[in-house]
C-alpha cells in the first residue's frame, strides 16, 4: 500500500509531497480493584499524505493533508489525492521547503513484544503495597509499539520504532468518616517498576494527609512551591514559547539572544532539546517531517538561544536546521531543595487541574492538597485556588539543583514561585 | 437533503455479519461496530493556513467486542480483508487468546459480568444536512474563513491574529450483533473564531467564539454574528483587572451554565464511576443536590447538537434522561456493560473516542432547564458579584464534588447594576451542592453549545454539548 500511494504521489503533478505510514500494536488491560474489567488489542495502520503546490511563481506554498484508509480502493486513493491537489492550490502560505537532509545512522530500535511490556505492568500492579486504608481503586494499562515510516519527494526516508506506555491509576485513602481518591496518569516508554512503586507510595501518603486537611486559610504573599509532576506545566510554558509557531504567530515575544524576562532576579534557567531521554515514551530520533532531532540549548542561562518546531515555522525564522522536539531537560537551579524549603511557604501537591496557559501566561488550579509551612508549623490544607501570571513569575522564580524526570521532561525537583494569589476557603 | 449512509459500510456489512457468525462459535456474545466518517477541516489565520480531509472524528475502522465466561474483550482494526473472513476470525481469536494466556500467567482475576442482551432490532437513520463536508466547495470555504480572519484583524483592537476554523464530519456507523442491525448517518459542524491581543503588562488575552450543531457547513454562517461581538470583548479583556479572591454572587451565562452542568452533574453521574465507587452521586439518588430551580437533562435526544446520534457505540438507542428534577437527583447515565453490572438499563451514553478506543459512560447533551426570570431582573438582584462569560476549561471531581471552572471574564455588578469593570481570567471553585443549592434565579432562554471536547480524566476525547439558561448562584472566585 505504501508503495502504491508513493507511486501515485510521484505522478500526481504536485510540487512536493510527504507520506507517512504509522503502525500501532496496542495491548490494553482495564481493572476494577484488581479484577479485569476488559482486555483489548488494537492493530492499526494509518497512511497520512500531505500534498504541496508552489503558487504565484514560487512565492507561496500551498498544502493540503489527509488520511488514506488501508482498505481504500485504488479509485478512493485517486480521489483523495486529486482532492488534496486541488485544495493545496487554495492555501497560500509563504514558501518554505521540505527537508532534503538524508537520515543516516539511526540507532537500532529495541521494541519489546506487547506481551512482555504488558506483563511487566500487570506484575508490578499486583505487587504494590496496599493497606486497609490506602489501596488501588482501579487502573488501566496501555502498552503500544509504534512504527513510523516516512518519506518525502526530496528523497528523505526514515523508519523509526518506539514503545509508548501509559498507566492510569486511581488510588483511595480512607478513615472512619470518609474516603478520598487521587488520580495519576503515568506515561513512559516501558514499565519502570521502581518509579511506579515510589510514585504510588507517595500518592498514598498524599491521600493519608488529605484526610486530615483543613480548609486553605489566607496566606497573603506567601511563596508557593511545586514539587510534583504539575511543575511540568511551568516548564512547558518555556518550551512552548521557544516554539517557532508561537514566535511566528506573535504569541511569544522572546527573541534569540535576549533574556526571557526583563530584570531577571531569580534563577536563570536553561532549556535543552533532546533526541532521546532514557525511559521516555517519545524516544523518536526523527520528527514527523523527516528531520533529525539534535541535542541543543533552546534557552541558556535565561537567554533564548534557539527556536524549535515544524519545518514551516522554523524556516520563516531562518532556522533551517531546526526540528520538532519531543524531549526536554531544564536546568539552572542554584538552590538545594533544602534551601528552597526554608522560611514560610505553601507547597501545593494536588490539584483538580493545574494549568499554566502558554499563550496568556495565566496560572490557575483548584487546590486539593497543600502543606502550609508558616512560623515553623506545618498545616495540611485543601480547597481554594492558586492563580497568577507566569509572565511575572519568570523574573523571580527559584529552582533546585536537584532534578527529576517525568516521562519526556527532566525538570528541577522543586520550583518556587513568588507573587501568586491564593484564594482561601472562608 | 439526507446525509447518505456510507457505501463502504453497506458493501462491507455482509462480511462483518459473517464475522459475527463465525466468532459466535467461540464466544457467547459478539458485536461489531464499524465506522466510516469523512470530513474537512479548514483553518485560516494571518500567520498560517491549512486544509485537511481529516479531523478529530474522521475515521474508518472496526471494533469487535466478544464475551466468554463473563469476560469481555475487544479487538480493534482498520486493515482487514473482506474476502477472507475465516482468516480474520482466526486472527482476532489468536490475539485475544494470547492475552488470555498472559492474564492466566500473572494470575489475574476477572470482574465477571453477565451477557449483554441481544434483542432483535433494525434501525436505519439518515439525518438532514444542507452542505455535506465531502460535497463542500473547498474554495468557497477557504475564502469564507479567510474573510472572517481578515475582518477580525480589521475590527478587533490590537489583535495579533484572528484564527477562523471550520470543521465538519459526516459520520456513518454500523452496529451488528447476531440479532441487531443498526445504521446511522449524520453530519455535525463546528466553527470557531479565536483572536488574541497583548495587554500592557505583557500577557496575552484570548477571545473565543463558536457555533456548532447537527448539520452541514451551512452552520458556519453563524460565525458572522459571532465576529461582530469580538471587538468589544477584546477591549474588555485586555484592560481587565484581577478579581479580589472571595465568595460572590454570580450570574452564569448559558455557556458557563453548561460548563457547570457538565462538570458538576455530568461527570458526577457517569455510572461507570458508580461501578468503581468513584462517584459520590451513587449515594445521593433520591436526595436533594440543588435548589428547586435545578432540573437537568442529559441525552443525545435533548438537542440537535454535535452529538445528536440515533444510537451509541454499543448499539443502545439514544435517550433523554432527567438526571435532576427540581433539585432531586433522580438517576445517572450509563453505558451497557456498567448497566449490566449495576442491574439497571443503559441510557445510550456508551461512547468511544473512535473505533480504536474503549467505551466509557460519556455525556452527550447536558443541559439545565430554563426558568422564569429575565437577565435584567437577575442583574438587578445582585448586591455585589459578577456576570461570568466565556468558557476556557473545567475539571470534574465526582468523588468529592469539588468543581473547577476557568472562565474568560467576569463583569462586575454592584447594587444591581453592571459597573463596567471587567476581571479576567476568573477561576471559579466550590462545592457542587452549594453551587447548585444556591441557584435562586434562572432565565427563560436557553442555549446549547458544542464547540469543545470532553476528556475522561486526561484522555478519551469525545464531542459533547452543554448549556442552559442564565443562572444566579454564589461561588468562590479567584
Query: Is A323 strand, coil or helix?
Result: coil
Predicted pLDDT at A360: 86
Judged against a pLDDT cut of 80, whether residue B396 lies above it is answered with no
End residue of a domain, out of B221, B238, B255: B238
Same domain for B303 and B185: no
CB < 8 Å from B in window 363-402 of A: 364-366, 368, 383-387, 389, 391-392
Q: What is the pLDDT of residues A69-90, one digit of tens each?
A: 999 999 999 999 999 999 999 9
| Separation between Cα atoms, residue A167 and residue A122, nearest integer Å | 10
Cell reading at A6: 508513493
Same domain, yes or no: A296 and A363 = yes
Residue B86 lies in a domain: yes
Q: Closest to B457 (Cβ–Cβ): which among A123, A183, A360?
A: A183
Residue B399: the pLDDT is: 85
When pLDDT is cut at 50, 70 and 90, the band that residue A236 belongs to is very high
Query: Residue B319 half-sphere exposure, CB side, CA atoms within 13 Å?
Result: 20
Local structure of A195: helix, strand or coil: helix
Q: Which residue has the cell 482495564?
A: A30
B203 touches chain A (CB under 8 A): yes
Cβ within 8 Å, pair B247-A426:
yes
A185/A243 same-domain check: no
Residue B180 counted as domain residue: yes
Residues A184 and A274 in one domain: no
Q: What share of chain A is helix, strand, coil (3-state, %, to 5)?
A: 20, 40, 40
**For chains A and B, what is the number of CB pairs under 8 angstroms?**
242
**Chain A: nearest CA to B428, how far in angstroms?**
9
Q: Tell me how far apart the alpha carbons of residues A334 and A167 are, in angstroms, rounded to a whole number.
A: 33
Same domain, A190 and A244: no
Smallest CA–CA distance from A120 into chain B, residue: B106
Cα–Cα distance between B379 and B414 in angstroms, integer? 9
User: What angle, rounded to 10 degrees, do the helices at A74-88 and B138-155 form?
Assistant: 30
Strands, E assignment, A56-206:
60-68, 93-94, 134-152, 157-174, 179-188
d(CA A144, CA B36): 24
Q: Does residue B116 fall inside a structural domain? A: no
Helices (H), B39-137: 85-105
Buried b (16+ CB within 10 A) or exposed e, A150-165: bbbbeebebebbbbbb
Which of A170, A188, A209 is where one domain is finished?
A: A209
Residue A193 CA to its chain's centroid (Å)? 21
Residue B185 in any domain: the answer is yes
Evaluate if residue A263 carries a pLDDT over 90.
no
> In terms of residue numbers, what domain contains B218?
7-106+122-238
- DSSP string covering B232-300: HHHHHHHT-B-PPSEEEEEEE-HHHHHHHHHHHHTGGGBTHHHHTT--GGGG-TTSB-S-TT--EEEST
Query: For residue B401, what pLDDT is reported?
Result: 87
Question: With bands split at pLDDT 50, 70 and 90, how would you rate the model's confidence at B10?
Answer: very high
Tell me how far apart the alpha carbons of residues B190 and B129 are, in angstroms, rounded to a whole number: 13
Amino acid A88: pLDDT: 97
Cα angle B111, B114, B119 (rounded to 5 degrees) comes to: 145
Residue A122, domain CATH: 3.30.2290.10
Is pLDDT of B55 > 90? yes
Query: pLDDT tens digits, residue range A86-106?
Result: 999 999 999 999 999 999 888
Residue B117 belongs to some domain of the structure: no
Please report, for the domain that includes residue B148, its CATH number: 3.30.2290.10
Which chain B residues contact residue A359 at CB under 8 A?
196, 204, 206
Q: Which of A38, A69, A126 sits opposite B72 (nearest CB)?
A: A38
> What 3-state class would DSSP assign to A382?
strand
Residue B125 grid coordinates: 437513520
Report the residue of chain B nearest A252, measured CA to CA: B204
If you average pLDDT over residues B245-260, what whole number do you get?
A: 95
Do residues B250 and B234 both lie within one domain?
no
The reply to whether B69 touches chain A by the CB within 8 Å rule is: no
Could you tell me if A36 and A176 lie in one domain?
Answer: yes
Q: Given the C-alpha cell 458538576, which residue does it identify? A: B264
Do both B277 and B342 map to the same domain? yes
pLDDT band for position A24 (cuts 50, 70, 90): very high
Q: pLDDT tens-digit profile of A313-345?
A: 999 999 978 999 999 999 999 999 999 999 999
Q: Same domain, yes or no, for A226 and A360? A: yes
pLDDT confidence of residue B387: 98
Span B61-84, pLDDT tens digits? 999 999 999 999 999 999 999 999
The shortest C-alpha distance from A32 to chain B (Å) reads 6
Average pLDDT over residues A241-269: 94
Please indicate, yes or no, if residue B229 is contained in any of the structural domains: yes
Shared domain for A124 and A187, answered yes or no, is: yes
Q: Are B271 and B213 within one domain?
A: no
Selected residues 253-312 of chain A with any CB under 8 Å from a CB in chain B: 253, 312
Terminal CA-CA length for chain A: 64
Looking at A209, A227, A248, which one is the last position of a domain? Answer: A209
Residue A306 has what pLDDT?
96
Question: Could you tell me how many residues make up chain B?
Answer: 478
A-chain residues within 8 Å CB-CB of B68? none
How far apart CA A325 and CA A308 sit, in angstroms, is 7
CA distance B59 to chain A (A): 8
Distances (CA, A) of A212 to B81, B242, B301, B404: 59, 32, 44, 22
- Are B342 and B277 in contact, with CB atoms under 8 Å apart? no
Of A92, A355, A364, the CB nearest to B49: A92
For A296, the domain range is: 214-423
The reply to whether B99 touches chain A by the CB within 8 Å rule is: yes
Candidates A191, A162, A163; CA nearest to A285 is A162
pLDDT tens digit string along B182-232? 999 999 999 999 999 998 877 889 999 999 999 999 999 999 999 999 999
Are the CB atoms for A414 and A341 separated by under 8 Å? yes
Tell me: do A149 and A294 sit in the same domain.
Answer: no
Give the helix/strand (H/E) hosting B39. Answer: strand B29-44
Domain co-membership, B216 together with B332: no
β-partners of residue A52 are: A16, A63
Query: Is there a single domain that holds both residue B275 and residue B322?
Result: yes
Question: Could A248 and B358 be called an inter-chain contact, meaning their C-beta atoms sit closer than 8 Å?
Answer: no
Judged by CB atoms closer than 8 Å, whether chains meet at A360 and B203 is answered as yes
The set of cell numbers assigned to A237 is 510554558
B111 part of a folded domain: no
Q: What is the maximum span of chain A, computed from C-alpha positions, in angstroms?
A: 76
H or E element in which residue B460 lies: strand B459-463
Same domain, B412 and B304: yes
Over residues A111-119, the mean pLDDT reads 93
d(CA A314, CA A94): 12
CB contact under 8 A, A39 and B49: no
Q: Do A193 and A57 share a structural domain?
A: yes
pLDDT digits (tens, 9 = 90+) for B318-361: 999 999 999 999 999 999 999 999 999 999 999 999 999 999 99
Q: Check whether B403 has a pLDDT greater than 90.
A: no
The CA distances from residue A11 to A16, A259, B95, in Å, are 11, 49, 39
Does B76 lie at the interface with A, CB-CB under 8 angstroms? yes
| Domain closes at, from A190, A209, A228 | A209
The Cα–Cα gap between B226 and B188 comes to 19
Instruction: Return the DSSP state at A393.
Output: H
pLDDT: which is higher, A221 or B162: B162
Residues B193 and B260 in one domain: no
Measure CB to CB from residue B427 to each of A46, A65, A364 and give the nearest one: A364
Alpha-carbon distances of A216 from A76, A202, A355, rounded to whole Å: 60, 21, 19
Q: How many Å apart are CA A319 and CA A323, to the nearest integer? A: 9
Measured at the CA of B164, the angle between CA B158 and CA B169, to 5 degrees, comes to 160
User: Is a pLDDT exceeding 80 seen at residue A109?
Assistant: no
Whether B258 and B149 share a structural domain? no
Would you state the pLDDT for residue B243? 93
Number of domains in chain B: 2
Residues 384-413 of B with CB under 8 A from A: 393, 395, 397, 399-400, 402-404, 406
Find the residue in A nearest to B44 (Cα): A91
Residues B65 and B22 occupy one common structural domain? yes
At residue A303 the predicted structure's pLDDT band, cuts being 50, 70 and 90, is: very high
Q: Tell me, yes or no, whether A139 and A242 share the same domain.
A: no
Nearest CB to A80; choose among B53, B95, B202 = B53
pLDDT digits (tens, 9 = 90+) for A135-185: 999 999 999 999 999 999 999 999 999 999 999 999 999 999 899 999 999
- Report H helices in B324-363: 336-342
Mean pLDDT of B378-394: 95
H helix runs in A146-303, sequence order = 193-210, 231-241, 244-248
Tell me: do A190 and A227 sit in the same domain: no
The answer to whether residues B338 and B420 belong to one domain is: yes
Are A148 and A261 within one domain?
no
Who among B204, B247, B477 is closest to A251 (CB)?
B204
Last residue of a domain, one of B212, B238, B264: B238
Percentages (nearest 5) of helix, strand, coil residues in chain B: 25, 40, 35
Chain-centre distance of CA B214, in angstroms? 13
Do residues B335 and B42 lie in contact, with contact meaning Cβ atoms separated by under 8 Å? Answer: no
Domain end position, chosen among B238, B273, B300: B238
Examine the domain organization and report whether B368 and B472 are in the same domain: yes
Alpha-carbon dihedral A103, A104, A108, A111, rounded to 10 degrees: 10
Question: Which chain A positions have a beta carbon within 8 Å of B100's beta carbon?
Answer: 39
> Which residues, listed in sequence order, are joined to residue B206 by a DSSP beta bridge?
B196
- Total domains, chain A: 2
Lowest mean pLDDT, pick from B14-18, B111-115, B263-267, B272-276: B263-267
Distance separating alpha carbons of residues B325 and B368, to the nearest angstrom: 10
Q: Which of B50, B83, B270 to mutate to test the interface with A (most CBs of A within 10 A)?
A: B50
pLDDT value of residue A220: 84
Q: What's the rounded Cα separation, in Å, for the pair A301 and A298? A: 10
Which among A393, A263, A399, A298 has a CA at the least distance from the CA of A339?
Answer: A399
Is the pLDDT confidence value at A426 over 80?
A: no
* Chain B nearest C-alpha distance from A363 (Å): 10
Amino acid at each position: 500500500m505504501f508503495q502504491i500511494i508513493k507511486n501515485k504521489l510521484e505522478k500526481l503533478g504536485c510540487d512536493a509531497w510527504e507520506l507517512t505510514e504509522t503502525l500501532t500494536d496496542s495491548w490494553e488491560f482495564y481493572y476494577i480493584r484488581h479484577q479485569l474489567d476488559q482486555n483489548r488489542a488494537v492493530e492499526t495502520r494509518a497512511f497520512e499524505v500531505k500534498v504541496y503546490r508552489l503558487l504565484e511563481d514560487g512565492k507561496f506554498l500551498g498544502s493540503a493533508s489527509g488520511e488514506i484508509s488501508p482498505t481504500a480502493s485504488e479509485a478512493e486513493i485517486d480521489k483523495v489525492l486529486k482532492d488534496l491537489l486541488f485544495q493545496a492550490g487554495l492555501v497560500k502560505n509563504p514558501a518554505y521547503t521540505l527537508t532534503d537532509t538524508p537520515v543516516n545512522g539511526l540507532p537500532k530500535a529495541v521494541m519489546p513484544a506487547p506481551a512482555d511490556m504488558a506483563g511487566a505492568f500487570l506484575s508490578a500492579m499486583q505487587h504494590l503495597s496496599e493497606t486497609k486504608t490506602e489501596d488501588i481503586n482501579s487502573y488501566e494499562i496501555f502498552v503500544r509499539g509504534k512504527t513510523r515510516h516516512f518519506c518525502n519527494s526530496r528523497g528523505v526516508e526514515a523508519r523509526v520504532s518506539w514503545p509508548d506506555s501509559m498507566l492510569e491509576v486511581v488510588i483511595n485513602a480512607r478513615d472512619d468518616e470518609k474516603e478520598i481518591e487521587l488520580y495519576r496518569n503515568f506515561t513512559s516508554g516501558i514499565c519502570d517498576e521502581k518509579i511506579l512503586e515510589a510514585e504510588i507510595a507517595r500518592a498514598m501518603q498524599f491521600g493519608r494527609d488529605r484526610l486530615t486537611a483543613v480548609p486553605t486559610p489566607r496566606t497573603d504573599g506567601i511563596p508557593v512551591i511545586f514539587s510534583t509532576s504539575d511543575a511540568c506545566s511551568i516548564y512547558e510554558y518555556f518550551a512552548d514559547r521557544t516554539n517557532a509557531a508561537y514566535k511566528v504567530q506573535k504569541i511569544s515575544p522572546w527573541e534569540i539572544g535576549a533574556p526571557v524576562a526583563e530584570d531577571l532576579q531569580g534563577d536563570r534557567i536553561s532549556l535543552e532539546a533532546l533526541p532521546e531521554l532514557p525511559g521516555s515514551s517519545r524516544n523518536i530520533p526523527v520528527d514527523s517531517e523527516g528531520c533529525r532531532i539534535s541535542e541543543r540549548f533552546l534557552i541558556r542561562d535565561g537567554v533564548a538561544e534557539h527556536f524549535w518546531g515544524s519545518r514551516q515555522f522554523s524556516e520563516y525564522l531562518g532556522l533551517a536546521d531546526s526540528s520538532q522536539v519531543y524531549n526536554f531537560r531544564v536546568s539552572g537551579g542554584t538552590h538545594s531543595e533544602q534551601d528552597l524549603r526554608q522560611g514560610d511557604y505553601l507547597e501545593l501537591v494536588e490539584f483538580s487541574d493545574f494549568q499554566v496557559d502558554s499563550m496568556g501566561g495565566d496560572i490557575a488550579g483548584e487546590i486539593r492538597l497543600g502543606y502550609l509551612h508558616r512560623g515553623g508549623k506545618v498545616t495540611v490544607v485543601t480547597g481554594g485556588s492558586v492563580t497568577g501570571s507566569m509572565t511575572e513569575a519568570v523574573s523571580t522564580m527559584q529552582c533546585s539543583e536537584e532534578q527529576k524526570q517525568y516521562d519526556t521532561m527532566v525538570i528541577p525537583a522543586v520550583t518556587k514561585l513568588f507573587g501568586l494569589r491564593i484564594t482561601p476557603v472562608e | 437533503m439526507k446525509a447518505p449512509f456510507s457505501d463502504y459500510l453497506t458493501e462491507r456489512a455482509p462480511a462483518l455479519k459473517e464475522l459475527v457468525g463465525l466468532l459466535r462459535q467461540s464466544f457467547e456474545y459478539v458485536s461489531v461496530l464499524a465506522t466510516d466518517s469523512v470530513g474537512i477541516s479548514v483553518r485560516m489565520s494571518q500567520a498560517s493556513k491549512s486544509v485537511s480531509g481529516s479531523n478529530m472524528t474522521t475515521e474508518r475502522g472496526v471494533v469487535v467486542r466478544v464475551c466468554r465466561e463473563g469476560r469481555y474483550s475487544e479487538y480493534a482494526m482498520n486493515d482487514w480483508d473482506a474476502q477472507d473472513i475465516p482468516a480474520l476470525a482466526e486472527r482476532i481469536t489468536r490475539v485475544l487468546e494470547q492475552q488470555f494466556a498472559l492474564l492466566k500467567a500473572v494470575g489475574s482475576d476477572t470482574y465477571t459480568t453477565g451477557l449483554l442482551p441481544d434483542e432483535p432490532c433494525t434501525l436505519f437513520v439518515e439525518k438532514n444536512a444542507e452542505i455535506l463536508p465531502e460535497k463542500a466547495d473547498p474554495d468557497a470555504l477557504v475564502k469564507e474563513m479567510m474573510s472572517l480572519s481578515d475582518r477580525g484583524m480589521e475590527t478587533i483592537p490590537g489583535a495579533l491574529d484572528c484564527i477562523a476554523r471550520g470543521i465538519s464530519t459526516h459520520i456513518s456507523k454500523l452496529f451488528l450483533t447476531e440479532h441487531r442491525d443498526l445504521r446511522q448517518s449524520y453530519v455535525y459542524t463546528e466553527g470557531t473564531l479565536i483572536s488574541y491581543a497583548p495587554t500592557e503588562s505583557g500577557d496575552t488575552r484570548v477571545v473565543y467564539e463558536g457555533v456548532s450543531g447537527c448539520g452541514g457547513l451551512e452552520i458556519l454562517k453563524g460565525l458572522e454574528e459571532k465576529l461582530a461581538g469580538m471587538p468589544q470583548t477584546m477591549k474588555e479583556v485586555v484592560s481587565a483587572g484581577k478579581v479580589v479572591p472571595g465568595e460572590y454572587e454570580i450570574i452564569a451565562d448559558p455557556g458557563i451554565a453548561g460548563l457547570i452542568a457538565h462538570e458538576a452533574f455530568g461527570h458526577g453521574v457517569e455510572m461507570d464511576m458508580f461501578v468503581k465507587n468513584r462517584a459520590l452521586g451513587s449515594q445521593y439518588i433520591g436526595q436533594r443536590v440543588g435548589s428547586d430551580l435545578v432540573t437537568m437533562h442529559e441525552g443525545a435526544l435533548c438537542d440537535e447538537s454535535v452529538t445528536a446520534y440515533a444510537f451509541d457505540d454499543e448499539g443502545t438507542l439514544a435517550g433523554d434522561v432527567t438526571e435532576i428534577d427540581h433539585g432531586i437527583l433522580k438517576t445517572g447515565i450509563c453505558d451497557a456493560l456498567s448497566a449490566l453490572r449495576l442491574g439497571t438499563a443503559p441510557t445510550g451514553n456508551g461512547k468511544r473516542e473512535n473505533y480504536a478506543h474503549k467505551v466509557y459512560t460519556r455525556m452527550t447533551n447536558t443541559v439545565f432547564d430554563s426558568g422564569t426570570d429575565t437577565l435584567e431582573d437577575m442583574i438587578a438582584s445582585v448586591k455585589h458579584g459578577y456576570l461570568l462569560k466565556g468558557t476556557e476549561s473545567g475539571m470534574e471531581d465526582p468523588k468529592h464534588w469539588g468543581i473547577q471552572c476557568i472562565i474568560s471574564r467576569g463583569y462586575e455588578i454592584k447594587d444591581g447594576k453592571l459597573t463596567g469593570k471587567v476581571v479576567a481570567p476568573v477561576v471559579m471553585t466550590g462545592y457542587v451542592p452549594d453551587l447548585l443549592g444556591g441557584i435562586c434565579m434562572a432565565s427563560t432562554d436557553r442555549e446549547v453549545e458544542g464547540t469543545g471536547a470532553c476528556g475522561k480524566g486526561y484522555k478519551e476525547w469525545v464531542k459533547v454539548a452543554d448549556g442552559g439558561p442564565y443562572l444566579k448562584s454564589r461561588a468562590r472566585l479567584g
